């Protein structure tokens, strides 16, 4: 690297002579594995397709020298590695990049600096910034993901330093992560984390969107990225909002239509890892082979100039409940935004309550009331977290337990009289008050089948003091009604005739997000005994028309 640090890589070359384009992956999870154990075909498969493949350990991980700190060095290190790879023996000087999750971040952070040998990239399952949609979501800390990821990273650092005791302890902590999520305060959580993953505590310290986070924000630099990109995501991936935001942002800015750098979006029925079908249906070629095939077609087009039909449509998605489809854009131009309003007699608690969801505007209706206690949060049932199902709520799940809590308000449409599709971004406009100076409001969109089973499609949260800004939080006045916008993110599903659409409102979705102690403090130093209960009221009247906005297309 430019500062003299040595980073190590494995290089796979096709047999025979000639010059070949290079595919580069940079990751912190061991170059020897090359993400083959979780997703892609082995680098040998790509080499047999006529590519040199370079897989590198990032700074401070596995074989590479230096000190690892997430995202800090990835821009310059990626630039230097791309140019080094372009000059390898057997290279034709044209480089493409691929990789998912952190290996997607290394691509995006490097592309911001415009290395001259970078021709194209395939960032997969990766966000648009590392505050919103990564470590935080509208002010709430992404507890299950951030904590388990930090523990996972710390294990390798303990191994590098030869600390057997710490390694064993951290592995045990990872296996019992669900127990650690309950422990307070987090500043002492867990053993050995402070020594081997100190950045976890920096994340807690920087609970607002400040300069610490802004230096790594891809979505503030779209104008600087000028290469074609294949953006790959999964409908239950924790980074799906950012993946689609990157696609939309690149199309409208530096890497977009104006300078002829095409962008493509591919989204399947996957969560973060491993990539396999998540619904009850089964079909061949749903898993990682889809991504491998698309990447080869993409790289052949840009690195070997083998023209294809890959750009006939800019978007290819798997519609949950229907199958693969090409779209003209995201969201598709055929969708219309439709408001479904909340209604009840003041007793919408649980799925057995009187909550109704309809396109009719509300009149004068009684507000719904529930109690939120940080001592007894609503437990996540599936969701958009990561990275392993046994440490984080992931994927579709039966919502019966979640929806029978009296701390959850449930609003459901009548059975649909025809098929509809929800394809696009979903958000909730909520009018609510609280007896606390700060609290959370959550929303969860579900599909209810003809047998009455409820399955989560997408969810979101807003921390009250972050309702207007993630940079300048302001506490609320107890008892005052505020307007909240809860961003659920992208949904792509077909709702069949006879099925129902359901919206659940609450104040916790734990451990997907941390518990709010209703005191207006940053996460980290709080103690459980300091938390207070809050009485929450949700309004649905002509003056306060709470609703969920759905991008609807008649099927």
237 and 385, same structural domain?
no
DSSP 16: S
Cα–Cα distances in Å, from 278 out to 107, 193, 321, 451, 455?
27, 33, 11, 19, 12
Residue 420 within any structural domain of the chain: yes
Q: Token pair for residue 4? A: 């003299």
Residue range 59-104, pLDDT digits in tens? 999 999 999 999 999 999 999 999 999 999 999 999 999 999 999 9
Distance CA(555)–CA(553), nearest Å, equals: 6
Residue range 219-260, pLDDT digits in tens? 998 988 989 999 999 999 999 999 999 999 998 864 444 344
pLDDT reported for residue 494: 97
340 and 269, same structural domain?
no
pLDDT reported for residue 184: 84
pLDDT reported for residue 527: 78
* Mean pLDDT confidence for 130-156: 97
Residue 476's pLDDT band, with cuts at 50, 70 and 90, is very high
SS3 content of the chain, % helix, strand, coil (to 5): 25, 30, 45
Distance CA(9)–CA(24), nearest Å, equals: 10
474 and 412, same structural domain?
yes
pLDDT reported for residue 488: 97
Closest CA to 399 of 381, 425, 426: 381
Residue where a domain terminates, one of 293, 327, 361: 327
Residue where a domain terminates, one of 180, 206, 232: 206
pLDDT at 396 over 90: yes
194 and 265, same structural domain?
no
CA angle 164, 169, 170 (to 5 degrees): 100
183 and 253, same structural domain?
no
65 and 171, same structural domain?
no
Distance CA(299)–CA(227), nearest Å, equals: 12
Residue 1 within any structural domain of the chain: no
pLDDT at 280 over 70: no
pLDDT at 25 over 50: yes
310 and 366, same structural domain?
no
Per the CB < 8 A criterion, the answer to whether 494 and 555 are in contact is yes
Q: Token pair for residue 109? A: 């952070």
Residue 216 within any structural domain of the chain: no
The CATH number for 323's domain is 3.40.50.1820
Task: Please provide the average confidence, as pLDDT, over all residues in the chain.
Answer: 94
| DSSP calls for 319-377 | EBTTEEEEESSSS-TT-EEEEEEEE-SS--BSTTS--EEESSPP-S-PPEEEEE-TTSP
Residue 279's pLDDT band, with cuts at 50, 70 and 90, is low
Residue 217 within any structural domain of the chain: no
pLDDT at 277 over 80: no
Full-model pTM: 0.96
* Mean pLDDT confidence for 157-185: 93
Closest CA to 7 of 36, 34, 28, 37: 28
350 and 248, same structural domain?
no
Residue where a domain terminates, one of 327, 350, 380: 327
378 and 317, same structural domain?
no
pLDDT reported for residue 191: 77
**Exposed (0-12), middle (13-18) or buried (19+): which is 352, by Cβ within 10 Å?**
exposed
Domain encompassing residue 193: 140-206
pLDDT at 132 over 70: yes
* Mean pLDDT confidence for 489-518: 97
pLDDT reported for residue 257: 44
Cα–Cα distances in Å, from 554 out to 319, 322, 530?
14, 14, 50
Closest CA to 474 of 434, 429, 437: 437
pLDDT at 48 over 60: yes
76 and 16, same structural domain?
yes
Residue range 409-426, pLDDT digits in tens? 999 999 999 999 999 999
pLDDT reported for residue 526: 74
Residue 215 within any structural domain of the chain: no
Distance CA(192)–CA(30), nearest Å, equals: 21
pLDDT reported for residue 528: 77
Residue 478 within any structural domain of the chain: yes
Q: b or e along 501-519 (b: 16 or more beta carbons within 10 Å of the residue's beta carbon)? A: bbbbbbbbbbbbbbbbbbe
The CATH number for 451's domain is 2.60.120.260
pLDDT at 129 over 70: yes
Residue 312 within any structural domain of the chain: yes
CA within 13 Å, CB half, 2: 10
pLDDT reported for residue 181: 92
313 and 229, same structural domain?
yes
Q: Name the domain count of the chain.
A: 3
285 and 144, same structural domain?
no
Residue 212 within any structural domain of the chain: no
Percent of the chain with pLDDT over 90: 86
């Amino acid at each position: 690297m430019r500062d003299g640090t040595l980073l190590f890589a494995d290089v796979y070359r096709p047999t025979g002579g000639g010059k070949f384009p290079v595919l580069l992956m940079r990751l912190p999870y061991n170059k020897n594995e090359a993400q083959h154990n979780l997703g892609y075909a082995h680098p040998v498969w790509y080499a047999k397709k006529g590519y040199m493949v370079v897989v590198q350990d990032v700074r401070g991980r596995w074989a590479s020298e230096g000190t690892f700190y997430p995202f800090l060095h990835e821009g310059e290190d990626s630039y230097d590695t791309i140019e080094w790879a372009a000059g390898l023996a057997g290279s034709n000087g044209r480089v493409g990049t691929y990789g998912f999750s952190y290996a997607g971040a290394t691509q995006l952070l490097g592309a911001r600096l415009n290395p001259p040998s970078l021709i194209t990239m395939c960032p997969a399952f990766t966000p648009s910034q590392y505050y919103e949609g990564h470590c935080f979501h509208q002010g709430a800390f992404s507890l299950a993901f951030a904590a388990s990821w930090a523990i996972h990273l710390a294990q390798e650092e303990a191994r590098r330093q030869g600390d057997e005791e710490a390694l064993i302890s951290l592995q045990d902590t990872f296996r019992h992560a669900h127990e650690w999520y309950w422990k307070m305060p987090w500043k002492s959580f867990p053993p050995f984390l402070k020594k081997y993953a100190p950045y976890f505590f920096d994340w807690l310290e920087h609970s607002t969107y400040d300069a610490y986070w802004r230096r790594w924000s891809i979505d503030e630099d779209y104008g600087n990225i000028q290469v074609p990109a294949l953006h790959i995501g999964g409908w239950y991936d924790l980074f799906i909002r950012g993946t689609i935001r990157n696609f939309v942002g690149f199309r409208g800015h530096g890497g977009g239509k104006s300078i002829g750098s095409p962008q493509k979006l591919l989204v399947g029925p996957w969560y973060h890892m491993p990539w396999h079908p998540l619904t009850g249906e089964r079909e061949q070629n749903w898993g990682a082979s889809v991504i491998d095939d698309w990447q080869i077609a993409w790289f052949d087009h840009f690195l070997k100039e083998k023209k294809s039909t890959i750009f006939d449509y800019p978007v290819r998605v798997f519609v949950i409940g229907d199958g693969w489809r090409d779209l003209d854009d995201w969201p598709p131009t055929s969708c219309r935004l439709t408001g479904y309003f909340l209604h009840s007699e003041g007793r919408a608690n649980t799925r057995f309550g009187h909550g109704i969801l309809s396109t009719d505007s509300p009149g004068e209706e009684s507000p719904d009331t529930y109690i939120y206690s940080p001592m007894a949060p609503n437990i996540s049932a599936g969701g958009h977290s990561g990275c392993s199902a046994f440490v984080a709520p992931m994927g579709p799940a039966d919502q019966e337990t979640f929806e029978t809590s009296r701390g959850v308000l449930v609003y459901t449409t009548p059975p649909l009289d025809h098929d509809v599709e929800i394809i696009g971004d979903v958000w909730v406009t909520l009018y609510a008050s609280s007896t606390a100076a700060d609290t959370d409001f959550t929303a969860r969109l579900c599909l209810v089948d003809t047998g009455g089973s409820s399955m989560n499609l997408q969810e979101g949260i807003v921390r009250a003091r972050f309702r207007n800004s993630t940079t300048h939080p302001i506490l609320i006045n107890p008892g005052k009604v505020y307007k909240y916008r809860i961003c659920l993110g992208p949904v792509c599903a077909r709702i069949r005739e006879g099925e129902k659409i359901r919206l659940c409102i609450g104040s916790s979705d734990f451990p997907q997000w941390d518990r709010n102690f209703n005191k207006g403090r940053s996460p980290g130093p709080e103690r459980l005994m300091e938390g207070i209960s809050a009485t929450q009221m949700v309004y649905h009247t002509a003056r306060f028309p709470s609703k969920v906005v759905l991008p609807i297309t008649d099927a």
